[in-house]
Structures are given as C-alpha cells and as structure tokens.
Structure 1
C-alpha cells in the first residue's frame, strides 16, 4: 500500500483562502477609493461653479451629470467598503470612517493609504 501524501493543514488552506479573498477586496477598495475621491473633487468644483461663481446655464448643462455620476460611484464605493470591512473583520468605527471618506474631499486618498498599509500587512502575514 502506498502512504497517503501530505496535504496542507486546514488552517493553512483557510488562511490562504482568506488572504486571497481579502486581497481581492483590498484591490477593489483601492480602485474605488481613488475613483470616488476624484469624483468628489470634481463634484466640489461643480458645486463651487454653480453656487459661488454662478456660471451660466450653458456651463451647467455640461457639468450637470457630475452629481449623478458621483452618487452612483459612491454606491459602488460603499459596496467595496463593506466587502473589505467584512473580510478584514474591523470595528464598526472603522466602517464609519471608511464610509465618511467618500463624502469628505481628499479624505478617501488619505484613508486609502492607511487602510492599504494595515490590510496588506495582515494579508501578508496570513500567507
């Protein structure tokens, strides 16, 4: 009879599976954090042009799509935030911070860098 071949332990296999899932969630979050941040800056410029500068109707027709686009992009961002938050099993406070990063100009860029560093370290340790 032949001896059974050694296989990976369940904890090693599950840790790698978790790391792969978390890595995918992190990649999606990073992309959406940047897209959301850029769109939020564009939205800020649009609001300044509309309410502070008081541009004409011709210009408003060209930039009127910005609030709608940002709204839908923010929804996709929220889904990616929930995915990463769930995979990493972070606290509720971290979830609130990540959600707010999509509505405070520049915050998504700053928080993305911090989240990436922390998540990458945990994912690397699990592999």
Structure 2
C-alpha cells in the first residue's frame, strides 16, 4: 500500500517547520479607482508642464547671470527705436527698454505658480493613494530639480496603475 504523506502544520513547539506566512494588510485607497486615475492624469500633465517650465527657468537664469541679459518682447529703447523680440543687456541691473514684456520675468512667475498647482496635484494623488509623507516630499522635489519630474512621473504613474489594478476593491468604500 502506497501511503502518501500529508503535510502538517508545524506545532508551536516544533520550530523546524517553515515560518507562518502573515497575510498582507488589506490595501485601502482614499478614493475610488476613477478618482485615483483622474488625479493621476492631472498629476501627469502638471509634472510635464512643470518640468518644461523648470527647464525654461534654468535657461533664463543662465542667460540672466552668465550673459547679463533678459529676453524682452516689444518696447522702445533709449534712442526711441522700436524693439521687437530679443535679448537685452542689463548692465548694472538697468534695462534700457521701456514698455514691452520682460519674458524672463514671465518665465519666473509662470513657473512659480505652476509649481504651486503641481504641489496641489501631488497632494491630491498622495492623499488618494494613502502613501507615507516621505513619498509626498519625493514627488514634490520633481518640480525643483531639473529633469526629475519626468522620471518621477514615469515611476509614480507605473506604480499607481499597478496598485489600482492589483487592488480593484480597495477603493470601493461606499
């Protein structure tokens, strides 16, 4: 007679058996999958826009401090001639063009406000995913370090989609 051995669970006194496997904690989101994916889409657009504006800001700062120039559109120079579009030398901190739009300053302002909206998108995604605070800080750094927003966004996007797919019932709270 061929008797098959049936595996038995190790007793508490027998430490030679495999350790008991703990069940993974049930994943809970702060919103529904649709809300999370919507927040992810908003975050993605803001991450790319903020990354592009940050690169423009870096170029603007190089032009300003390395070449003592700013980008200006329109206005008139000190001789009364019309200025179209181009770099203007700002020796001594004085711009010799009156009127017109200082595009260098515009880049600074637009990036600043876009970063604020980017932080709101980060916060929304962070709260819906219920991640630790350190994760929010890492994502927020994406809008401060050039090129980092593109890499962080790709990583976050991949992780959020995978977590939502792996836990389809985690967001059904109502």
Over 3 Å counting, the alpha-carbon distance change for 1:25 and 1:56 in structure 2 is closer
* Whole-angstrom CA distance in 1 between matches of 2:123 and 2:64: 33
* Whole-angstrom CA distance in 1 between matches of 2:43 and 2:70: 37
Shift of 1:55: 1.8
Q: Which has the higher helix share?
A: 1
Identify which of 41, 45, 70 aligns with 1:31: 45
Divergent runs of 4+, >4 A:
none
Q: Deviations over 1:16-58 (max 9, x none)?
A: x611111111000000000000000000000000001222574
Contact 2:36–2:125 (8 Å) recurs in 1: yes
* Whole-angstrom CA distance in 1 between matches of 2:54 and 2:159: 24
Shift of 1:126: 3.2
Q: Deviations over 1:35-93 (max 9, x none)?
A: 00000000000000000122257436232200000001001000000000000111111
TM-score w.r.t. structure 2 length? 0.61
**Superposition pairs for residues 18-97 of structure 1, below 5 Å?**
18-55=32-69, 58=72, 59=87, 61-97=102-138
Partner in structure 2 of residue 110 of structure 1: 151
Contact 1:19–1:126 (8 Å) recurs in 2: no
Supply the RMSD in Å over aligned alpha carbons. Answer: 1.9
Shift of 1:100: 1.0
Work out which structure has the larger RCO, using CA pairs closer than 8 Å and 6 or more positions apart in sequence. Answer: 1
* Whole-angstrom CA distance in 2 between matches of 1:56 and 1:80: 31
Unaligned runs of 5+ in 2: 1-27, 73-86, 89-101, 169-174
3-state secondary structure, aligned to 1:109: helix
Over 3 Å counting, the alpha-carbon distance change for 1:20 and 1:126 in structure 2 is farther
TM-score w.r.t. structure 1 length? 0.82
Q: Which has the higher strand share?
A: 2
Contact 2:54–2:143 (8 Å) recurs in 1: yes
